[in-house]
Chains A and B, each alone.
Chain A
Amino acid sequence: MSSVGADELTAAFRRAHGRAVATLVRVFGDVALAEDAVQDAFVRAMETWPRDGVPANPAGWIVATARNRAVDVVRRETRGRQLTEEQARDPLRQDRVEPVDEGEAEGVVDDDRLRLVFTCCHPSLRPEHQVALTLRLIAGLTPGEIARAFLVSEATMAKRLTRARTTIRAARIPYRVPTEAELPGRLQAALTVIYLIYNAGADDPARAGLRAEAVRLARELRALMPDEPEVDGLLALVLLNDARLRGRSDADGEVVLLADQDRTRWDPTLIREGQRRVLAALRHPHPGSFALQAAIQAVHCAAPSHGETDWATIVRLYDRLLSRTPTPVVAMNRAIALAETAGPQAALATLQALTPDLDGYHLFHAAQAGMLERLGEDEAASLAYDRAIALAPAAADNALLRRRRAALRREPSAPADAPPG
């Protein structure tokens, strides 16, 4: 038992949240009750852990405390009295109300979380509600954090979450993995949500647990649907991203761009597994957007250096991705790849056409800054960096952009990789 800081508490909560809520939903069949009980358990942890130290199994402690709390609530409420009676009649259910065994089998718990993903992704919930609710329940993000990710107000997001929970209870959306016949129709939402959980953990070291959670869910899903190319695609995408994590920051924790990364720090085992999954996904005659995104990552991973990357293939893959998923962000990433085959001038023209859609996105301005820098237009590049820095949400991104802007001012001459002509 050691003393405990606020960061440590936050990290422990994040790790425990999805598992605790999923377990409680299984036991009590009520999303709102499960969430409230887990919230209460976190408040209790906040009171007792700093005094008594973090328990040996923080997640188990949270689940046990939340479960006891929910049993109390169920016993007290009128609606709950009926529930308790039902549980008394059903010996299987009554067993489950006992305080949790801290050594509960991981397999059962894992399945709980996948079931919760499918509950949140039920087709009768609107897509934006599906994603918000999964980020809340599985990833443990606060309504404020989810609101920022969706660029809406916190009040709007809170209302959205309440409505989604109400629908689940009122319509009796079941808590289960869909049957084989239903699975394909519900798969896209589940894949999207798992990828968003991964991304929610990608920018912030305090949320590294979310990445592991997303990879684990993707593996679970693949065990469930081994022949679905998009499941292979998603798993490949998160594995290939994870493989390159160590290269993405230097010893001081600063962000390192793809071009400057030390590729020996990439994880060859994860790359091999990711590439196997990409090949499986691409065997399908019409690969989906996850498979295509993963294929792009696989080409990067196969290149011995930035200069030796097969950019023509990457641009072709982006073309296919853009025809499947015509979003401004995909168009932006295609433009960045295009700079390597057609030069920064061509890329810049494409980027500028995207301004109405992406003006509020820091990476859009960073991309423009990079192109302007390569064209030797330092003043315009500096202004674009300013705009990117003002918009960057993560501290690490911000620091990188400041360094690049500073480098620009120290070396006003044209950069070495200016375009031919």
Chain B
Amino acid sequence: MNQYLLSVHEVDGVVEGAPTTPEEMQAFMSEVVALEEQMDAAGALVFGGALHGPDTATVVRSGLDRVTTDGPFVEGKEHVAGFYVINAADLDEALDWAARTSAATGHPVEVRPFRATGRLQG
């Protein structure tokens, strides 16, 4: 089985159509949860989750001295809001999950094949 990273990209700032009211947020969450249940039932889901915002990130660089700075690694208009690691037979199967993830979250999803898989290999 091959593994793919599906990363969900969110645009910084206020975006039209994004959930604002508690009801909208509830509907959004239940769609995402339903998708995760489908991924799990299909045996595709390895691991995944939503991330706190990029302002909560800390960047560590190891050189002569260990340097720790705040903020996201890359300043940009987009940040990774969450991700899934999935098993899929081939790229088309991974793209299919990505399309469903994009539909559930309303965000673009980048699909990347793992070059080598670590201990999470199922």
Contact = CB atoms under 8 A, between A and B. Distances in A.
A420 B88 CA distance: 69
Nearest to A175: B90
B92 interface: yes
Contact of B113 (A170, A178, A182): A170
A174 B113 contact: no
Contact of A124 (B88, B89, B91): B91
A122 interface: yes
B115 A170 contact: yes
Among A171, A174, A182, max chain B CB count under 10 A is at: A171
A342 B37 CA distance: 67
B102 interface: no
A178 B115 contact: no
Main secondary structure of the interface of A (DSSP, over half): loop
Contacts of A182: 92
A208 B89 CA distance: 39
A169 to B, nearest CB: 10
A89 interface: no
A171 B112 CA distance: 7
A410 interface: no
B90 A172 contact: yes
Nearest to B115: A170
A122 B92 CA distance: 9
Interface residues of B, number: 10
A322 interface: no
A389 to B, nearest CB: 48
Interface in A105-133: 122, 124
Contacts of B113: 170-172
A172 B95 CA distance: 11
A174 B115 contact: no
A174 B2 CA distance: 12
Contacts of A176: 92
A174 B90 CA distance: 6
A182 B92 CA distance: 10
A380 to B, nearest CB: 54
Contacts of B2: 172
Contacts of B89: 172, 174
Among B2, B89, B91, B95, max chain A CB count under 10 A is at: B91
B115 A173 contact: no
Contact of A178 (B88, B92, B111): B92
B102 to A, nearest CB: 14
A172 B89 CA distance: 8
A176 B115 CA distance: 23
Interface string B73-114: 000000000000000111110010000000000000001010
A123 to B, nearest CB: 8
Nearest to B113: A171
Contacts of B90: 172-174
A182 B115 CA distance: 26
Interface in A278-295: none
Contacts of A124: 91, 95, 111
Nearest to B2: A172
Contact of A122 (B88, B91, B115): B91
A176 B93 CA distance: 12
Interface in A158-184: 170-174, 176, 178, 182
A170 B95 CA distance: 14
Contacts of A170: 113, 115
14 contacts: A122-B91, A124-B95, A124-B111, A170-B113, A170-B115, A172-B88, A172-B89, A172-B91, A173-B91, A174-B90, A174-B91, A174-B92, A176-B92, A182-B92
Interface of B: 2, 88-92, 95, 111, 113, 115
Which 9 A-B pairs have CB atoms at the shortest separation, nearest pair first? A174-B90, A172-B90, A171-B113, A171-B91, A173-B91, A172-B2, A172-B91, A174-B92, A170-B113
